[in-house]
Amino acid sequence: MTDPATQPTPNHDPHRPTPTPPEREGRVVELWQVPGCPHGAAYLPRLQHLVDAAAVPATVRTRVVTSVVQAVRERFLGSPTVRVDGIDVEPGAGRRSAFAVSCRLYRTPAGLHATPPEDWIVAALTAPHPSTPGARP
């Protein structure tokens, strides 16, 4: 008996790579937020503008965190959180552990801000994809 998973598909050229499914093309940008945080939903149009201006193929998605259990599981540092390909745009965020269902403040050289600085988002969008050798951790 032949395994159908190993059989070539009609018109399949074995010398060409299999096309990437549409949901995996480009970058995945996620805006994570909690209900009631005024900065999350208000930031979405600006985030979409930054993605468009970067001219990088990307899909923007929103995610909602509603419980502490979910915040811990998702390593959610507060609302809004922006991730590109699953990585928080804030440098050093991966080392933090103050997970919470709350609004978030970003500490920058210019002071505290309710949203991440635009240059962090642009840097994350234009950095090598995490699956690329030598990409950011």
Taking only the tens place, the pLDDT of each residue in 108-123 is: 989 999 999 999 999 9
| Interatomic CA distance for residues 71 and 99, integer angstroms | 6
Q: How many CB atoms lie within 10 A of CB 77?
A: 19
**Single pTM value for the model:** 0.77
Helices and strands (DSSP H and E) totals, the chain: 3, 6
| Interatomic CA distance for residues 67 and 34, integer angstroms | 9
Q: Domain ranges in the chain?
A: 25-126
pLDDT one-digit tens code per residue, 72-129: 999 999 999 999 999 999 999 999 999 999 999 999 989 999 999 999 999 999 998 7
Domain 25-126: give its CATH architecture. Answer: 3-Layer(aba) Sandwich (3.40)
